């Protein structure tokens, strides 16, 4: 069983825990230097997703406007061309 756990972790359990503690300490120090907190990161990700969500719906609204404007020209031209080709 221990061999399988070591395989998953890539090393022994104790060494993996020590590595994770050291890396966590370094990352925590760097985050403190830059004034980041876990909550800032979570709120930043949430705000990013919400901004994309709202921008996406604005973009869909713009696409709908473009589609309608183009259809005003394309559909009548298509009908006229079909009627002209139908006579042949």
pLDDT tens digits for the chain (88 residues)? 667 766 777 778 888 889 889 999 999 999 999 998 989 989 999 999 888 888 877 777 778 788 888 888 888 888 888 888 876 6
CA distance 9 to 70: 57
The pLDDT assigned to 70 comes to: 87
The pLDDT assigned to 78 comes to: 87
The pLDDT assigned to 42 comes to: 92
Query: Is the whole model's pTM more than 0.85, yes or no?
Result: no
Cβ burial 47-78 (10 Å sphere, 16+ → b, else e): eeeeeeeeeeeeeeeeeeeeeeeeeeeeeeee
**Who's near 37: CB < 8 A, 6+ residues apart?**
31
CA distance 21 to 15: 10
Q: Look-up: residue for tokens 């183009």?
A: 70
């Amino acid at each position: 069983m221990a061999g399988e756990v070591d395989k998953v972790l890539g090393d022994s359990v104790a060494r993996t825990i020590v590595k994770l503690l050291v890396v966590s300490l370094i990352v925590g120090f760097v985050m403190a230097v830059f004034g980041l907190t876990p909550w800032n990161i979570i709120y930043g990700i949430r705000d990013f997703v919400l901004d994309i969500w709202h921008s996406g719906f604005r973009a869909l609204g713009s696409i709908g406007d473009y589609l309608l404007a183009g259809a005003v020209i394309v559909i009548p031209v298509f009908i006229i061309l079909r009627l002209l080709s139908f006579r042949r």
